[in-house]
């Protein structure tokens, strides 16, 4: 759940949709295209207020060198382009933006420009069902394909099918999340929504797994014997795929 905090001077522009981008220093866990962005003002204060919820539609690398030159994705911008970029970010001109970046982060600066669709709905319907529907609509309007599966992730339909396939092979949500690259809670919610019963890791797997994956179905191969398999898999195929081959 990427949360973005804004100063009071930018709050009205973000809430009204006049501001559709923001420049931030790079995070340890970077924001990805398709993530749900939660915009706030006054975070960690009593005046904290949520402005809107959007979907990240684009990311651009922003660099300002020691001479004050603006580079987007490594391409130097002209004076007119720098002026336009600053105006879209809510500043009067590029000099004001340069002064703000120097005070907030220092120069030289390396960060990301995060974009969203300002025409998307500024708030979502209340309730869990309304939240899911609102996030789906926001994703469609932003041009992001996928279905909401919890924790702010938009997973494509192909990923849904792979999660169900790995579940049928007897994998727990924790292990499925490692293969697919999402949160375990996302996997559990998807399985429950599809009428499946998520398996518990302590019942299914007692030993750790190695990075090797089955070249047929993509399931992780056990390192040694566990409760469900009397013998460890041999080669680069799981037990189920070996049965199909033989």
pLDDT tens by residue, 53-102:
888 889 999 999 988 999 999 999 999 999 999 999 999 999 999 999 99
**Beta pairing, strands 109-116 & 209-213:** unpaired
Task: Give the Å distances, CA to CA, from 159 to 142, 154, 165.
Answer: 20, 10, 10
pLDDT, position 118? 77
Which residues, given as ranges, of the chain have pLDDT below 50? 122-132, 141-153, 202-211, 223-234, 246
Residues of the chain with CATH 2.30.130: 3-116
User: Residue 185 and residue 203: Cα distance in Å, rounded?
Assistant: 18
Beta strands per DSSP E along 13-156: 21-25, 36-41, 49-64, 70-72, 75-76, 109-116, 147-148, 154-155
DSSP 8-state code for residue 122: S
Number of H helices and E strands in the chain, helices first, is 9, 11
The pTM score is: 0.52
CA atoms within 13 A on the CB side of 237: 9
Fold of 3-116: 2.30.130
């Amino acid at each position: 759940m990427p949360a973005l905090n804004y100063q009071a001077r930018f709050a009205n522009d973000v809430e009204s949709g006049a501001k559709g981008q923001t420049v931030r220093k790079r995070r340890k866990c970077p924001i990805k295209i398709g993530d749900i962005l939660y915009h706030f003002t006054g975070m960690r204060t009593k005046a904290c207020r949520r402005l809107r919820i959007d979907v990240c539609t684009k990311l651009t690398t922003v660099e300002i060198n020691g001479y004050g030159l603006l580079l987007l994705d490594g391409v130097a911008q002209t004076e007119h382009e720098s002026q336009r970029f600053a105006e879209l970010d809510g500043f009067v001109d590029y000099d004001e933006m340069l002064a703000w970046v120097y005070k907030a982060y220092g120069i030289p600066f390396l960060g990301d420009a995060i974009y969203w669709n300002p025409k998307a709905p500024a708030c979502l319907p209340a309730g869990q069902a309304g939240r899911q529907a609102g996030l789906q609509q926001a994703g469609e309007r932003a041009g992001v394909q996928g279905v909401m599966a919890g924790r702010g992730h938009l997973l494509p339909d192909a990923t849904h099918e792979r999660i169900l396939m790995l579940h049928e092979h007897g994998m727990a949500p924790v292990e499925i999340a490692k293969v697919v690259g999402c949160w375990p809670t996302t996997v559990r919610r998807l399985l429950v929504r599809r009428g499946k019963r998520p398996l518990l890791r302590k019942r299914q797997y007692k030993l750790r797994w190695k990075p090797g994956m089955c070249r047929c179905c993509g399931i992780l191969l056990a390192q040694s014997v566990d409760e469900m398999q009397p013998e460890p898999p041999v080669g680069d195929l799981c037990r189920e795929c070996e049965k199909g081959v033989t």
